[in-house]
Amino acid sequence: MELHVRYEGDDDPEKCSARKLARFDLAELHRSVRATPPGLVLDPHADVALSPADEPPDDRLVALDCSWETADAEAFRLDGPHRALPFLVAANPVSYGTPFRLNTVEAFAGALCILGHREHAEEILGKFRWGHTFLELNEEPLRRYADCADSGAVVAVQSEYLDAD
């Protein structure tokens, strides 16, 4: 599966997971909306949850890499079906333990696991010292989401985690 990033460049370059993926030729960065190819867009503002039933157009996942302070719905105007990742917890040093506040590599890895590409997720997370922690923290939900038939089932599983408080 190809990984593409609409890269805003508004966060700390030293902590940018998208830039690191690109350095290892694991993702392609695009500086404009027009240059970003269509694919399944990981969008926290989407109305539909990502599920194993989703088939990324042209076998492409697309993410927006920007600061969480600028991650409004307008920023996600990219071509392709938009899907929100369900409840997952960040493992990166900046947002560790924060639900839904994933960085770009975590978003890709979560999506890859849900879509049945766990080895690809492990490969990209392997470039980060804390990468294995993401899979450990989210082992159960990722497995359960990957076993779902569709978006409705993913939302039902997510509700169990959100209602557990």
Query: What is the pLDDT confidence band of residue 147, given thresholds at 50, 70 and 90?
Result: very high
Instruction: Give the integer Cα–Cα distance in Å for 109 and 143.
Output: 13
Query: pLDDT by residue (tens digit) across 72-95?
Result: 655 667 889 999 999 999 999 999
**Which residue do the tokens 């350095």 mark?**
23
CA distances from 148 to 80, 153, 154 (A): 22, 6, 6
Q: Give the pLDDT confidence of 87-137 residue by residue, as tens digits.
A: 999 999 999 999 999 999 999 999 999 999 999 999 999 999 999 999 999
In the predicted model, what is the mean pLDDT of residues 17-33?
95
Q: Per 3-state DSSP, what percentage of the chain is helix, strand, and coil (rounded to 5)?
A: 40, 15, 45
Cα dihedral 146, 91, 158, 58 sign: negative
Q: Global pTM?
A: 0.94
Q: What is the mean pLDDT of the chain?
A: 92
Most confident of 15-19, 73-77, 105-109, 160-164: 105-109
